[in-house]
């Protein structure tokens, strides 16, 4: 159902699938599969070059031999993760997997659009040195701005680069990938361009507990290569937990005679014992349906755009990152700051103290900024916008009169 909702193509193309604790865990799974795959690709090409006559040697894998031995056997000196404004959890994943924080390389297209991935730089890095293996990580929804790493034709280019250089293509679409479930109307044209081609990835991270509004502990991981995923995550040699290999399950409906086999989660992800994470997501999708989910997402985007338009046109606030951007670039996140430096200093606390609106504090271009992330099935665009407008207007009026009093006092 998720593959269909997100328009990821043939269901059978995603045999690697599991629910995780969240996007952090899904990013760990994605980089772990990528790490295994890129080393295998290098090992394979080294073996092909070394011998045209003798039989190919058995691959040395990270799963069996460990990272150091596998890299050595494959002639890999370095594994890098090429990205732009990756979520912090991707950097954490690089640490967990023995790649290290510094393996994550920022290849931002420009200072104006740091969330966009510089494809020329990606190609240069891929071609740099055969002893360097690469994972490309696409930020499909940057957490401060909600902007996207790719535009219409970028994913096909990244896919062919990954094929050419034996790289793994991972998408972190925690919240952003849900833009693909919006209605196919002009209103969402630019978000569709930003999320076009994400189905070309090798692995995908998404979060149920963000835009699908299910309780926490509902990360989603999809992978095209179930063999790699089970190689990495198989729970080896536990006879007492032996599960039969997945069988094709016959459905009772005649329209779809078979479904994709489901591997035991024990051998697809981190946990041994786990609760039935899929259940809340299943219930939500079943109750809302594709149309209901799209409608829910429409309300979130419209509220975010109403707020964006308000801060853009307000004399008291500044719409970030680019005040001249098109409103249609807004998904569900609005980044802004107060023009008045004193108000901006305390803006996040003041807004949150109203207990009517909650914003998170962040930093943009070296200065404090506030961030509204709209993520609720209960959004009522007009009513909620009125609350946000009232709160932001009141705070600005208070700050202006405080400033006026301050000037009057110092003048006297
Ligand atoms: C929220 C988020 C994460 C981390 O998600 P958790 O579910 O909190 O682990 C990772 N990547 C992106 C892009 C996110 O927005």
Q: How far apart are CA 61 and CA 65, in angstroms?
A: 6
Same domain, 267 and 378: no
Same domain, 150 and 90: yes
Nearest ligand 1 atom to alpha carbon 143: 15
Nearest ligand 1 atom to alpha carbon 175: 15
Beta-carbon neighbour count of residue 2 at 10 Å? 22
Same domain, 260 and 309: no
pTM for this predicted structure: 0.94
Same domain, 148 and 189: yes
Q: What is the pLDDT of residue 254?
A: 47
In a domain, 285, yes or no: no
Same domain, 266 and 300: no
In a domain, 202, yes or no: yes
CATH number at residue 357: 3.90.1150.170
In a domain, 207, yes or no: yes
Whole-number Å distance, alpha carbon 40 to ligand 1 midpoint, is 28
In a domain, 227, yes or no: yes
Q: State the Rg of the chain over Cα.
A: 24
Q: What is the pLDDT of residue 249?
A: 53
CB-CB contact of 166 with 45 (8 Å): yes
Same domain, 228 and 334: no
Same domain, 215 and 301: no
Q: What is the pLDDT of residue 242?
A: 73
Nearest residue (CA) to ligand 1, atom 12: 174
Q: How far is C-alpha 105 from the geometric centre of its chain's CA atoms?
A: 17
Q: How far is C-alpha 148 from the geometric centre of its chain's CA atoms?
A: 10
Same domain, 306 and 266: no
Last residue of a domain, one of 242, 271, 300: 271
Nearest ligand 1 atom to alpha carbon 140: 13
In a domain, 280, yes or no: no
Same domain, 96 and 162: yes
CB-CB contact of 367 with 345 (8 Å): no
Comparing CA positions, the residue from 42, 31, 30 lying closest to residue 129 is 42
In a domain, 276, yes or no: no
In a domain, 284, yes or no: no
Same domain, 253 and 302: no
Whole-number Å distance, alpha carbon 332 to ligand 1 midpoint, is 14
From residue 360, alpha-carbon distances to 72, 165, 197, 257, 335 in Å are 45, 40, 31, 47, 10
DSSP string, 89-116: HHHHHHHHTTS-GGGEEE-BS-SSSTTS
Number of H helices, E strands in the chain: 12, 11
Nearest ligand 1 atom to alpha carbon 86: 13
Exposure string of 174-208, with b = 16+ CB inside 10 Å and e = fewer, is bbbbbbbbbeeeeebebbbbbbbbbbbbbbbbbbb
Whole-number Å distance, alpha carbon 187 to ligand 1 midpoint, is 26
Probe ligand 1: pick from 26, 30, 89, 374, max atoms within 8 Å of CB?
89
Q: DSSP state, 405?
A: H
Exposure string of 96-125, with b = 16+ CB inside 10 Å and e = fewer, is ebebeeebbbebbbeeebbbbbbbebbbeb
CATH number at residue 26: 3.40.640.10
Count: domains in the chain: 2
Beta bridge partners of 139: 172
Question: Six-digit token pair at 4?
Answer: 């269909």
Question: Six-digit token pair at 65?
Answer: 């031999």
Same domain, 307 and 264: no
Question: Six-digit token pair at 319?
Answer: 């719409």
Which ranges of the chain have pLDDT less than 50? 251-257
Whole-number Å distance, alpha carbon 373 to ligand 1 midpoint, is 13
How does pLDDT run across 106-144, given as a tens digit for each residue?
999 999 999 999 999 999 999 999 999 999 999 999 999
In a domain, 107, yes or no: yes
Burial (CB < 10 A; 0-12, 13-18, 19+), residue 11, is: middle
Reported residue count of the chain is: 412
Ligand 1, CB within 6 Å, residue ranges: 22-24, 87, 89, 141, 143, 172, 174-175, 207, 219
Question: Six-digit token pair at 205?
Answer: 């991270």
Q: How far apart are CA 398 and CA 96, in angstroms?
A: 47
What is the span of the domain harbouring residue 205? 2-271
Q: How far is C-alpha 28 from the geometric centre of its chain's CA atoms?
A: 12
CB-CB contact of 70 with 58 (8 Å): no
Q: DSSP state, 339?
A: S
Same domain, 335 and 236: no
Whole-number Å distance, alpha carbon 214 to ligand 1 midpoint, is 14
């Amino acid at each position: 159902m998720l593959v269909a909702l997100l328009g990821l193509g043939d269901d059978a193309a995603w045999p690697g699938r599991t629910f995780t604790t969240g996007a952090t865990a899904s990013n760990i799974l994605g980089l772990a599969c990528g790490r295994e795959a890129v080393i295998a690709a290098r090992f394979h090409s080294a073996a092909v070059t070394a011998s045209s006559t003798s039989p190919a040697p058995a691959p040395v894998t990270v799963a069996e031999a460990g990272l150091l031995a596998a890299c050595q056997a494959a002639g890999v000196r370095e594994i890098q993760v090429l990205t732009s404004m990756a979520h912090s959890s991707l950097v954490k994943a690089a640490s967990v997997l023995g790649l290290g924080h510094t393996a994550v390389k920022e290849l931002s297209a420009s200072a104006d659009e740091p969330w966009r991935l510089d494809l020329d730089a990606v190609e240069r890095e891929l071609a740099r040195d055969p002893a360097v293996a690469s994972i490309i990580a696409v930020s499909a929804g940057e957490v401060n701005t909600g902007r996207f790493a790719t535009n219409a034709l970028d994913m096909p280019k990244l896919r062919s680069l990954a094929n050419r250089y034996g790289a793994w293509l991972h998408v972190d679409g925690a919240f952003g990938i849900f833009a693909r479930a919006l209605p196919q109307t002009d209103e969402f044209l630019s978000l569709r361009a930003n999320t076009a081609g994400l189905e070309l990835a090798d692995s995908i991270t998404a979060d149920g507990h963000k835009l699908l509004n299910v309780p926490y502990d509902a990360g989603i991981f999809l992978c095209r290569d179930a063999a790699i995923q089970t190689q990495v995550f198989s729970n080896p040699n536990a006879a007492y937990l032996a599960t039969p290999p997945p069988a094709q399950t016959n459905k009772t409906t005649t329209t779809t005679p078979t479904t994709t086999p489901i591997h035991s989660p024990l051998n697809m992800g981190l946990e041994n014992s786990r609760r039935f994470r899929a259940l809340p997501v299943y219930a939500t999708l079943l109750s809302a349906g594709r149309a209901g989910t799209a409608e829910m997402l429409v309300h979130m985007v419209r509220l975010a755009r109403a707020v964006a338009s308000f801060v853009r046109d307000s004399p008291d606030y500044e719409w970030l990152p680019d005040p001249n951007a098109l409103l249609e670039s807004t998904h569900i996140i609005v980044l802004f700051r107060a023009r008045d430096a004193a108000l901006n200093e305390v803006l996040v606390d003041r807004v949150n103290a109203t207990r009517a609106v909650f914003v998170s504090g962040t930093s943009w271009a070296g200065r404090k900024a506030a961030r509204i992330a709209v993520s609720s099935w209960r959004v009522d665009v007009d009513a909620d916008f009125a609350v946000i407008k009232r709160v932001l207007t009141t705070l600005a009026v208070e700050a202006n009169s405080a400033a006026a009093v301050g000037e009057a006092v110092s003048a006297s």
